[in-house]
Structure 1
Amino acid sequence: MFRKQCCGEGSGCHSPPTQAWQRAAVRTIRRRCLRERSSYPLVTDLPCGRPPESHSDPESVSGLRTLPLELHGYITSPTASLVYRELDQMHYGMRGFSALLLSALFELVLSKSVIVPGAIWYDTDGNEIQAHGAGILQVEDTYYWFGEDKAANSALFSAVSCYSSTDLVNWERQDNALTPESGTNISSSDIVERPKVIYNEKNDEYVMWFHSDNSDYGLAMVGVATADTPCGPYSYRGSFNPLGAQSRDEGVFLDDDQTAYLLYASDNNQDFKIAQMDSDYYNVTEVVSEMEGATLEAPGMVKRDGVYWLFASHTSGWAPNPNKYFYADSISGTWSSQADIAPEDTNTYYSQNAYDMLLGTNAIYMGDRWDSSLLGNSRYMWYPLSWASGDPEIVYADLWTLDLDAGTYTVLNGTVYDASAGTLSGSAVLLGSSYTYNGHEGVGYLGSGGSVSLNVTGIGADQWLALYYANGDSTWRNVTISVNGGSSVVVDQPDTGGGHVVFSVPVQVYLNDGYNSITIGANQTNYAGDLYEVVVYTQT
């Protein structure tokens, strides 16, 4: 497990970097360190100011003499070694370049190009993104992501965070959009969830709506706040029951004619309503559609070719359920009967809808994988949403990319390794012909003495692996993975919806160029999920 020293904190002997290129170097190492999920041990005994001698000799790497001490003593891995040498070459081989250009080059090296549903996502400063219950706002070529900061692992209000991006992949954290105000309904003892922001052209103003509640969810209100800029800070205007009725999970929709609507679970979550807002977007004026007894929550909506598409989950607390879609030619209905956006038994790949946005002729499903025992550990489940069949369906992908200009997406392919072809140890067994996925037999009884080892090919880099497994429990399991005999990394395995329901969880590890041995399920006392495949990707 990583110590704080890994990312340059807590040792008390680091001198602050003074030059821009040095600050960029610090960010480089920190991000590498945070993203490192390999099996290489940490350096815990090195004196301050010395790099790992097993990979970089300070006498032969002259640039290290001028690096800030924050860069030294991180991880003894080829990743760290390569970055040290890259920094040395960049600083001395490009002496004529400006610090600004060097910083830009660092950012270019570290920028991401892929979306990895279920992974821990990091912002451009190397910190975990905390923006659950997402809302997305586009202002010209910039996207703003608003969400709940759950870093304190509490349902209580900490902050509405704001991130910005031009590609929906690399996100920079801005100042918080909304923070607690004592003595109001948005204090740190209250609930603020699912923030959504729309722009009011008439007032040249950004308006945020959110689920506003007390700690036992008894008030069931909406809250409204306004700002002059996308990230605010927002000024809280108040909380209320729309048209005198309850509102819990909510969303907003802005139509082509700039008419705005509130989408909300009402009447103790039994009825679902759509209400039109006033011209300021401060309140609602009338309910234009109601689905009685629908028990829907977590709504989102897109308008595609003149048709309104509503996406929502049913109500099951923090646990997932099969998310549904409805469609209508008018926002006031009549709405179609519900249908699934993913195979029903997967519970939408253990996720709940948060926001949906168009991407060309298709869309992006933006969901949350809630970890109710550790809310800050909840993951973002973003998938392409395709109408290729005529109806919207999630396109399952371990890794995928998008082209915003073209309005397209690409699902990436990796190298598939059959778990049953590996070397089984201890209590691990093949599960038989009735337990297969893509023609591959499952390996069961991993953990608690059982493990399986596979030989995979790497490219000498941090690489994504997708572990395809089944967990028929009603609770999460986890599994260990180690590379080339190194220390183990623990990977969460949410319940998949049944012992025969298979999907994947991602993990990033360092793989040597060429041959690597990975071992799954060793050094853990609990049982892991049944393993079917490991898919190795080269894209980052």
Structure 2
Amino acid sequence: MSNNAIRPGQVWLDTEGKRIHAHGGSILYLDGVFYWYGENKEKSTPGNGIWHWGVRCYASRDLYNWEDKGLIIPPDLENKQSSLHPSRFMDRPHIIYNRSTKKFVCWLKVMQPDHSQKSTVLIADDILGPYTMVRDGLKPLGMSAGDFDLVVNPSDGKAYYYFERVHSELICADLTDDYTDVTGYYSTHFPQSHPPYVREAPAHFYRNGLHYLVTSGTTGYFPNPSEVACSKLYHGPFEVLGDPHVGDESNTSFHSQICSVFKHPHKKDLYIALADRWITEHTPGNPQTYEEAAAIFDRLFGPSDTSELNGDNFAPVDTSKATFVWLPFRFDGKMAYLDWKDEWRIEDYE
């Protein structure tokens, strides 16, 4: 049965009737085809030691019906030290195209055993791969780099890397001409003392002369209020506008975390927030509200306590059951709003 609408929070099946796994991902539009890629969490059930099973990609012509194109970056099952081994904490793939080198460049965030975070960079001639690793264990600017987004200026091809400097602030760094490293030039934004207030999961989009960043707080898989900020320049300064989620009494971004924003290429003003609903059912031991989660993170990461979270703090989250929350932005002046919709259609937008 084919899909004819987007239904936020519901289980989304591909054209073979299998659950879609493209988490923490993004969409690229190439030659009339939408490519949606992200973390493959199909085997990531609690207790089995599998954090990911590579990066999976899907193709569509209508954004409703998605054909599984397979693992474009498969897991490395042989080398336990590899950044791509299923036990390693690999998150949030982002792919951009370099029109000068004619390469697709993919960055991955990989949490290390010591809880620092490093980057892995791969390149390919085709969006579907195969991808070749060109950098591993990279600490951009010497920093521990967490959640991120990659952005290319369509006019001059210059690329930018927005990332969370772990538990500190957000960074905008210029990328080298080949997009595989940083140049050394950067700016800092939204400084905070510790989680849950530090901003992470930056998602960039550009509209009417303004650069927007949508971010979340830092509460792990437990959702929290998003925040919209805008600037006239890639490097800011950014003006914080507030939480985009209208009528969200749960204070949890409709129980989701935005990972990227996609501008529909054939619509005047359709910007789609792509988000993951990581927690689909309550597990004893896990917080049920943002306030509960924030209180725990406040205690763990307060100025007098810099300890990290461990498995004893919360019950495990079954990310193999994660769903997606896609919603269209509504604009009022500068502000970008997200209204809850049980169902919506691309055709309803000009």
Question: Which TM class, normalised by the smaller chain length?
Answer: 0.7 to 0.9
Shift of 1:123: 0.4
Cα shift readout 1:270-298 (whole Å, capped 9, x = no counterpart): 21101110010100113432112261111
Query: Which structure has the larger Rg?
Result: 1
Check conservation: 2:257, 2:275, Cα contact below 8 A.
yes
Structure 2 counterpart of 1:381, one-letter code: V
Check conservation: 2:103, 2:123, Cα contact below 8 A.
yes
Shift of 1:362: 3.6
Q: Helix, strand or coil for the counterpart of 1:243?
A: helix
Shift of 1:395: 2.3
Structure 1 counterpart of 2:89, one-letter code: I
Cα shift readout 1:176-219 (whole Å, capped 9, x = no counterpart): 111223242222221211111110101111111121223x4623
Higher relative helix content: 1
Instruction: Sort the Cα spacing of 1:396 and 1:287 in 2 relative to 1 into closer, same or farther, 3 A.
Output: farther
Check conservation: 1:176, 1:233, Cα contact below 8 A.
no
Correspondence for 1:296 among 199, 217, 239: 199
Q: Which runs of 4+ in 1 moved over 6 A?
A: none
Shift of 1:262: 1.0
Instruction: Sort the Cα spacing of 1:160 and 1:313 in 2 relative to 1 into closer, same or farther, 3 A.
Output: same
Matches within 5 A, 1:190-269: 190-214=88-112, 216=113, 218-239=115-136, 240-256=138-154, 257-266=156-165, 268-269=166-167
Residues of 2 paired with 1:280 and 1:232: CA distance?
17
> Are 2:86 and 1:188 aligned?
yes
Correspondence for 1:176 among 66, 71, 78: 71
Residues of 1 paired with 2:207 and 2:184: CA distance?
24
Give the corresponding residue for 1:121: 12
Residues of 1 paired with 2:60 and 2:82: CA distance?
32
Cα shift readout 1:28-60 (whole Å, capped 9, x = no counterpart): xxxxxxxxxxxxxxxxxxxxxxxxxxxxxxxxx
Correspondence for 2:221 among 299, 302, 318: 318
Structure 2 counterpart of 1:364, one-letter code: I
Residues of 1 paired with 2:18 and 2:97: CA distance?
28
Correspondence for 2:36 among 145, 149, 153: 145
Structure 1 counterpart of 2:132, one-letter code: S
Correspondence for 1:350 among 255, 260, 275: 255
Shift of 1:338: 4.4
Residues of 2 paired with 1:133 and 1:329: CA distance?
27
Correspondence for 1:333 among 236, 254, 259: 236
Check conservation: 2:225, 2:243, Cα contact below 8 A.
yes
Structure 1 counterpart of 2:126, one-letter code: T
Residues of 2 paired with 1:340 and 1:296: CA distance?
13
Aligned length in residues: 295
Give the corresponding residue for 2:273: 365
Correspondence for 2:331 among 376, 381, 387: 387
Cα shift readout 1:146-180 (whole Å, capped 9, x = no counterpart): 11111112562311001111111111011211122
Residues of 1 paired with 2:177 and 2:28: CA distance?
19
Give the corresponding residue for 1:422: none
Give the corresponding residue for 2:26: 135
Residues of 2 paired with 1:358 and 1:217: CA distance?
37
Give the corresponding residue for 1:465: none
Matches within 5 A, 1:400-479: 400-403=344-347, 408=349
Indicate the larger mover: 235-244 or 163-172.
235-244
Residues of 2 paired with 1:217 and 1:351: CA distance?
27
Residues of 1 paired with 2:243 and 2:277: CA distance?
18
Instruction: Sort the Cα spacing of 1:166 and 1:188 in 2 relative to 1 into closer, same or farther, 3 A.
Output: same
Structure 2 counterpart of 1:356, one-letter code: V
Check conservation: 2:263, 2:270, Cα contact below 8 A.
yes
**What runs of 5+ residues in structure 2 fail to find an aligned partner?**
280-315
RMSD: 1.8
Residues of 2 paired with 1:161 and 1:311: CA distance?
24
Indicate the larger mover: 340-349 or 118-127.
340-349
Residues of 1 paired with 2:147 and 2:235: CA distance?
19
Check conservation: 2:135, 2:180, Cα contact below 8 A.
no
Give the corresponding residue for 2:286: none
> Are 2:285 and 1:377 aligned?
no
**What runs of 5+ residues in structure 1 fail to find an aligned partner?**
1-109, 410-540
Q: Helix, strand or coil for the counterpart of 2:63?
A: coil
Shift of 1:302: 0.5
Check conservation: 2:26, 2:262, Cα contact below 8 A.
no
> What percentage of residue pairs aligned between the two structures are identical?
27
Residues of 2 paired with 1:364 and 1:392: CA distance?
11
Residues of 2 paired with 1:178 and 1:208: CA distance?
10
Structure 1 counterpart of 2:40, one-letter code: D
Choose between structure 1 and 2 for higher RCO, CA contacts under 8 A separated by at least 6 residues. 2
Residues of 2 paired with 1:170 and 1:325: CA distance?
30
